[in-house]
Structures are given as C-alpha cells and as structure tokens.
Amino acid sequence: MRAEHPKLEAGLAALGIDVRSGTSLSELTSLGIGGTTDLLRITKHDSIPELIGLLEHHDIPYKFLGGGSNLLVGDGELPWVILQLAKPDPEIVLEGNFAHVDAAADLGRTVTFCAKHDLGGMEGLIGVPGTVGGALRMNAGAYGMQIGSYVRKVKLYRAAERKIEILSGEQISFEYRHTSFGPDDMMLAVTLELPSKPFKEILQGIRICNEKRRSSQPLGQKSAGCIFKNPPGASAGRMIDELGLKGLSVGDAKVSDRHANFFVNAGQASAKDMLALISDVRGRVENAFGVKLENEVVVWNA
Ligand SMILES: Cc1cc2nc3c(=O)[nH]c(=O)nc-3n(C[C@H](O)[C@H](O)[C@H](O)COP(=O)(O)OP(=O)(O)OC[C@H]3O[C@@H](n4cnc5c(N)ncnc54)[C@H](O)[C@@H]3O)c2cc1C
C-alpha cells in the first residue's frame, strides 16, 4: 500500500510524518519475514488523531508496529501502511519510584536504565526484545513476572473515541499475554511504579534471567519468541517436544532444535512457509493431545 495521493502527502508533511516508501518488513521484524509497504514514522503523539483521520479519508488501512519482535508479516506488497513511533529524547524520565517511559523506548534499555537508578522488579524482562509499547500491548512477561504489574498510568490513542486519553492502571486488565486495550488503541507512554532495590541485587537477577534464556532459547537465530501461548496448566513447548517435532521444517521455516515453541527462519523462509509450519504443528498437537494451541505471535497476513 502506498501513501501517494498528492493531498495525502501534503497532509502527512504538515503533521511532521516521516514517510519511508517501499520499506521491507523483513528488515523490521525479528523473524526477518514480511513484504513491502510505506512506513509512516510519527514524531509527535498529538498528530495521531489527525493522521488517522487523514488515512481514513483516503481509504488507507494501517497497522501499528513496535519493535517487530512478536510479528509474522505476510509476503509481497502489503495492503496497509505501517505506523511507528519515532523515539523521543529523553525516552525515560524518573521521579522517585515512578518511571515515565515513552512507548517507543527499547524495553531492555528501559530495564537497565531503571536498574542503574536502583529501581527493580523488571529483571525477568531482560532479553525480551521490542519496545515498551509492544510489551504493554502484549503484557510481556517471563520468569513469573509481567509488565502489567508495574503499570500505574498509560497514555494512549483510543481508537473508539478518536482521541488521546490517560488511563489509570486500575482501568486496564492485564492477563497472560492479553490486555483489555481495544484492537486499534495505540500505547504512547506509560508510568511504571518500580520497587527500590540496590543495583547490585538487580544485576544479579538480570544475570540469572540472561543465563536461563541463553541455555534454553535459540538466541542467535531469527525468531518471534514463542509461537503459541501456553494452554492453561500446560506447556506448548513440552507438547511439541514430546511429539518429536524439534527440527520439523517447511522450506526454511523450522521448529527450533533448542526450544520447541520457538520457530526460526533458518534462511529465506517466507510467511507462507512459516504459516504452513504453524498449522502443521497445531494440527499434530490437537490430534495427539486434544488441545488447540492459540497463537502468541501476532500474524499480519493479507
Ligand atoms: C528471542 C525472543 C524472546 C522473546 N521472549 C519473550 C518473553 O520472554 N516474554 C514475552 O512476553 N515475549 C517474548 N518475546 C516476544 C516479544 O518480544 C514481545 O511480545 C514484545 O513485547 C513485543 O514488542 P514489540 O515492540 O516488538 O511489538 P511488535 O512485535 O512490533 O508488535 C506486537 C503487537 O503489539 C502491537 N503494538 C506494538 N507496539 C504498540 C503500541 N505502542 N501500541 C499499540 N500496539 C502496539 C502491534 O500492533 C502488534 O499487534 C520474545 C521475542 C523474541 C524474538
């Protein structure tokens, strides 16, 4: 999809939108898969309601990209433009135990920045790639913690109201890889309340989590983390492993030899390959265990 109409181009320029034509999503996603479209980078939160109005006026569908680490994007020319927040400076402002963080901030850098200021709690999130906005949307978590537990306020673009609002933590429900945000809401900034902890102690926790990841995940390979959510009381990875499916492949899309719930792009995998592998594994697990696995990875397919 191209944002090419002269009036649209003038409107985007007036809103300070940086348009990157013909961007390949394979370069913006950790799986290294995805076709081509125009990328619209947002420099001012306040421009979003007008930007959305402009796109709708020109019948241009859009999707919202964070760091691209939980996405499987379709092949070829994509039928929507991509919106992404540009990083402001500074990305994080601390005020006592509160961290005010822009949604475009890198999650890992946020964890370490807060740690250096003796604010802990998020050690488990070290090694989760992507942005703070993506982590909020997915309620990212690991090793018994989730980001939602620390959220006190979220600034977001409410698609249903067509305006920017601030929600308090109590107004949002955070569940396992699920939140109560609307499907088209855009996270713009968050206030986290973090417990005080000495840096040395946080660092120790970070090292333990890093070690756990290194020993169990295919970190050097292109993936989107876990493909499936764990069903209640069970482990998707364990079920796939028990069926002997590690190493199973369709083209260059492959079930990791290291972690059965990580599917990797071992070369030039297409979205078609990866979707076929996901469907094959889901079918086999359902036949063997009677459990239909739900995607954790977000699929953008035309
Ligand atoms: C090696 C590896 C390890 C991983 N380990 C974990 C883990 O331990 N725990 C875990 O939870 N996840 C894990 N993940 C998955 C992924 O990193 C997280 O889900 C991450 O929070 C996604 O953030 P992102 O910015 O990359 O989002 P994207 O992949 O860009 O987007 C994911 C979804 O969030 C939406 N989104 C992104 N930003 C915003 C925003 N600002 N406002 C509204 N919607 C938005 C997108 O539209 C899309 O629907 C892992 C991934 C990899 C590659």
What are 18's two structure tokens?
């940086």
β-pairing, 151-158 vs 186-193, is antiparallel
82 lines ligand 1 (CB under 6 A): no
Cα(225) to centroid(ligand 1), Å: 9
Q: With pLDDT > 70 as the criterion, what percentage of the chain qualifies?
A: 100
Cα(295) to centroid(ligand 1), Å: 13
Query: What is the CATH code for 92-200?
Result: 3.30.465.10
Cα(137) to centroid(ligand 1), Å: 8
pLDDT at residue 64, rounded to an integer? 97
Which atom belonging to ligand 1 lies closest to the Cα atom of 218? 1
pTM for the whole structure: 0.96
11 lines ligand 1 (CB under 6 A): no
User: Is CATH 3.30.43.10 the classification given to domain 6-85?
Assistant: yes
Does residue 4 carry a pLDDT above 90? no
Range 167-171 average pLDDT: 96
β-pairing, 174-175 vs 178-179, is antiparallel
What are 82's two structure tokens?
């991509």
237 lines ligand 1 (CB under 6 A): no
What are 253's two structure tokens?
């899309």
Does residue 1 carry a pLDDT above 90? no
As a whole number, the mean pLDDT across the chain is 96
In angstroms, rounded to a whole number, what is the distance separating the alpha carbons of residues 134 and 113?
18
Whose C-alpha lies nearest to ligand 1, atom 49?
Answer: 298
In angstroms, rounded to a whole number, what is the distance separating the alpha carbons of residues 80 and 90?
30
pLDDT at residue 279, rounded to an integer? 98
In angstroms, rounded to a whole number, what is the distance separating the alpha carbons of residues 286 and 280?
10
Alpha-carbon distances of 237 from 72, 127, 188, rounded to whole Å: 19, 19, 33
Question: What are the start and end residues of each CATH 3.30.43.10 domain in the chain?
Answer: 6-85
Pick from 2-16, 21-35, 154-168, 195-209: least confident: 2-16
219-231 residues labelled b (16+ CB within 10 A) or e (exposed): eebbbbbbbbbbe
Whose C-alpha lies nearest to ligand 1, atom 22?
Answer: 134
pLDDT in tens, 69-91: 999 999 999 999 999 999 999 99
The set of residues, in sequence order, having a beta carbon less than 8 Å from that of 41 and lying 6+ positions away, is 17, 18, 19, 20, 84, 85, 86
Range 108-127 average pLDDT: 97
Which atom belonging to ligand 1 lies closest to the Cα atom of 64? 47
The crossing angle, in degrees rounded to 10, of helices 48-57 and 6-14 is 180
Cα(85) to centroid(ligand 1), Å: 14
Question: What are the start and end residues of each CATH 3.90.78.10 domain in the chain?
Answer: 218-300
For residues 1 and 193, which has the higher predicted lDDT (pLDDT)?
Answer: 193
Range 146-168 average pLDDT: 96
pLDDT in tens, 242-297: 999 999 999 999 999 999 999 999 999 999 999 999 999 999 999 999 999 999 99
Which of 137, 222, 229 gets mutated to test ligand 1 (max ligand atoms within 8 A of its CB)? 137
Which of 128, 131, 167, 228 gets mutated to test ligand 1 (max ligand atoms within 8 A of its CB)? 128
Does residue 104 carry a pLDDT above 90? yes
By C-alpha distance, which of 71, 108, 66 is closest to 87?
A: 66
Question: What are the start and end residues of each CATH 3.30.465.10 domain in the chain?
Answer: 92-200
Which atom belonging to ligand 1 lies closest to the Cα atom of 85? 41
Task: Provide the 3-class DSSP secondary structure of residue 228.
Answer: strand
pLDDT in tens, 39-52: 999 999 999 999 99
The set of residues, in sequence order, having a beta carbon less than 8 Å from that of 188 and lying 6+ positions away, is 45, 48, 85, 102, 103, 133, 155, 156, 157, 164
pLDDT-derived band at 3 (thresholds 50, 70, 90) equals: confident
Query: What is the CATH code for 218-300?
Result: 3.90.78.10
261 lines ligand 1 (CB under 6 A): no
